[in-house]
Amino acid sequence: MKKTKNIGVLTSGGDGPGMNAAIRASVRTAIYYGYKVFGIYQGYTGLIHDKITELTSRDVGGIINRGGTILQTSRCKEFREYNGRKCAFENMKKYDMNALIVIGGDGSFRGLHDLINEFKIQGIGLPGTIDNDLFGTDFTIGFDTAVNTALDAIDRIRDTATSHARLFIIEVMGRHSGYLAEYSGIGGGAEDILIPETITDIKKICDKLEKGHRNGKRSSILVVAEGDEAGNAFEIKKKIEKVVNWEIRVSILGHIQRGGSPMAIDRLIATRMGYEAVLAIKRGETDKMVGMDKDTAILTPLKKTWTIKKKIDPSLVKMLDILST
């Protein structure tokens, strides 16, 4: 491994609260250890099209509390091709940069892994996604804030649901992952959660809803992950209203889950991960992701973060089932 010269930092894919805290920590730690740091704007798009600026400690001041990402982001199709990555590498050479810190999700890590192996650069990933779907970390940056945002919405919906005696089907984000649905469903006291990791049994759900109704429940809430195999919230509504004789409303929470000031947990894990990323680069580590295993920062080979499926704990699903009677 060549000696690290300059370090580039970028955010890629869907943004999430806490990304700015991770940028701040990586930039300041890198400067502390004598590296020059470049901020790359709009993710891999900025690396290909030279949207690159040197960052000072002052440039990352006053951002730890801000949602979104000051470096902006993109889902960059060009970077999926070898030629796109070659252009990116040429720009890295231009700035004498041979190490990258990439804050993003699985798609961003696949790109980083390819860049590392094709051009022998050094790269460390930080898990930045509200989906919490990366193997190698208990929590990803943005997940906790997104759960809190969803919970706030669920609590508000519960008020109106109870007033009107309605069933609400609330759709949260998660194209391939049910973490957000599971955590916000448990925290919001939902009657059930519908997630891509488990087979949705509409009949069982309807039986449960009707039983609850008979037992005097005035409202019910189902939390659906957008990627549930039984369909989206409107499709689920159609299936349920064939069986249950109740007024049903749908609420899609959408992108509000991605915004907002990061909660304490996101600020803390993002800060620790940003700090650890630079220490890892300094030690010569590469092709790895920094994650949190309980209270300890750990490294996992990048490829494992998306090839090993992070499992939803089935005992939590069972617990929700028992508690929602």
Q: Residues in the site for ligand F6P, rule: CB under 6 A?
A: 13-14, 75, 105, 129-131, 173-175, 226, 258
Angle at alpha carbon of residue 103, lines to 98 and 108, rounded to 5°: 85
| Cβ distance to ligand F6P smaller for residue 196 or 212 | 196
**Please, what is the minimum distance in Å from the beta carbon of residue 24 to ligand F6P?**
21
| Cβ distance to ligand F6P smaller for residue 142 or 212 | 142
CA quadruple 262, 265, 270, 272: dihedral sign: positive
DSSP string, 232-256: -HHHHHHHHHTT--S-EEEEE-GGG
What are the structure tokens assigned to 269, written together?
């894990």
CB of 297 within 8 A of CB of 273? yes
Element (H, E) at 315: helix 314-323
**Please, what is the minimum distance in Å from the beta carbon of residue 200 to ligand F6P?**
18
**Please, what is the minimum distance in Å from the beta carbon of residue 5 to ligand F6P?**
31
Catalytic residue among 131, 144, 266, 287: 131
User: Known catalytic residue: 96?
Assistant: no
| Cβ distance to ligand F6P smaller for residue 121 or 172 | 172
Spell out the long-range contacts of 29-33 with Cβ–Cβ below 8 A and sequence spacing 24 or more: 29/274, 29/275, 29/277, 29/278, 29/279, 30/278, 30/281, 31/56, 31/57, 33/278, 33/282
**Please, what is the minimum distance in Å from the beta carbon of residue 180 to ligand F6P?**
7
**Please, what is the minimum distance in Å from the beta carbon of residue 73 to ligand F6P?**
10
The residues, any chain, with a CB within 8 Å of residue 15's CB and separated by 6 or more, are: 67, 68, 69, 73, 128, 142, 258
DSSP string, 90-138: HHHHHTTEEEEEEEE-HHHHHHHHHHHHHH--EEEEEEB-TT---TT-S
Cβ-proximal residue to ligand F6P, closest one? 14
The residues assigned a catalytic role are 131
